[in-house]
Amino acid sequence: MKDIPEDSRPYEKCLRQGVEALTDGELLAVLLRTGTRGRNSVELAQDILELSRDKEGILGLHQLSLTQLRSIKGVGTVKAVQIKCIGELSKRIARTAAKRELTYNRPGTIADYYMEQLRHEEQEMLICMMLDTKNHLLGEEMVFKGTVNGSLANPREIFLSAFSYHAVGIILVHNHPSGDPKPSRADLDFTERVLRAGEIVGIPLLDHIIIGDHIYMSFKEQGIL
């Protein structure tokens, strides 16, 4: 930080104006603490924020791998791990805050709970929430993880998980990496298969929620279930 003019240093700016006044690059620079030869910490932070091709700025941190981060001159293993931990910490803060409002008959609260976990993922992931007779969460299982264009899991895998928890109802949650939660034909067909299988085994599908980028779609709210 010593090679940055004093009135432009993130630490001093934070003390004068508050943490809200810091740019994304300045916030990251504070956490990085040091730069490298020829690049101060703010410049190094900006290099990191510009690394993601798909999402500009701070959103891209979630998608950067350790290898990608270490490709930047001045970012070694320690700094790369710190940056990955920053992303994970932000997810957990958002998830913990949303958990207080979580209600299983209100799809919006479920979407909020999973939003930060799923909206940054580049692959489709399918989570099964297992509920008891009072709609209390018995547990959750990631029953599928595939490519962006991959098909969803077989209903058999879902109900094997449901049986293992002695669930009396399930809710499915999965993400669309495109950011658009509109269900595809495959989503509709898959949901219908799970619905029918649930009716046969006595474990009803209560909802299927698709997570986009700060937006969601609930089959229950749309009257599909």
Question: pLDDT digits over 11-24, tens only?
Answer: 787 788 877 777 77
Given a cut of 60, whether residue 2 has pLDDT beyond it is no
- Span 108-127, mean pLDDT? 88
- Span 174-179, mean pLDDT? 92
Residues 87 and 152 reside in one and the same domain? no
- Span 134-162, mean pLDDT? 80
Given a cut of 70, whether residue 148 has pLDDT beyond it is no
Given a cut of 70, whether residue 59 has pLDDT beyond it is no
pLDDT for res 197:
95
Q: Is residue 225 part of a domain?
A: no
Rounded to whole angstroms, the Cα distance separating 191 from 211 reads 15
pLDDT for res 4:
63
Nearest to 45 by CA among 14, 13, 15, 82: 82
Q: Report strand pairing: 125-131 vs 216-218.
A: unpaired
- 């409002």: which residue's tokens? 101
Question: Sorting pLDDT into bands at 50, 70 and 90, what band is 136?
Answer: confident
Residues 154 and 77 reside in one and the same domain? no
Residues 209 and 112 reside in one and the same domain? yes
Q: Is residue 140 part of a domain?
A: yes
pLDDT, mean over the chain? 82
Rounded to whole angstroms, the Cα distance separating 207 from 205 reads 6
Residues 67 and 175 reside in one and the same domain? no
CA dist list (Å): 180 to 91, 169, 174, 177, 217: 20, 27, 12, 8, 9
| Last residue of one domain, picked from the residues 95, 113, 139 | 95
- Span 107-121, mean pLDDT? 87
Residues 109 and 168 reside in one and the same domain? yes
CA dist list (Å): 178 to 118, 121, 184: 12, 10, 12
pLDDT for res 98:
59
Residue 200 belongs to what domain range?
A: 101-218
Rounded to whole angstroms, the Cα distance separating 112 from 209 reads 11
Q: pTM value?
A: 0.66
- Span 156-184, mean pLDDT? 93
CA dist list (Å): 136 to 6, 46, 197: 54, 44, 22
Q: Is residue 1 part of a domain?
A: no
Instruction: Provide the percentage of residues in the chain whose pLDDT is more than 90.
Output: 32
Q: Is residue 224 part of a domain?
A: no
- Does residue 88 or residue 149 have the better pLDDT? 88
Nearest to 31 by CA among 94, 75, 93: 75
pLDDT for res 175:
94
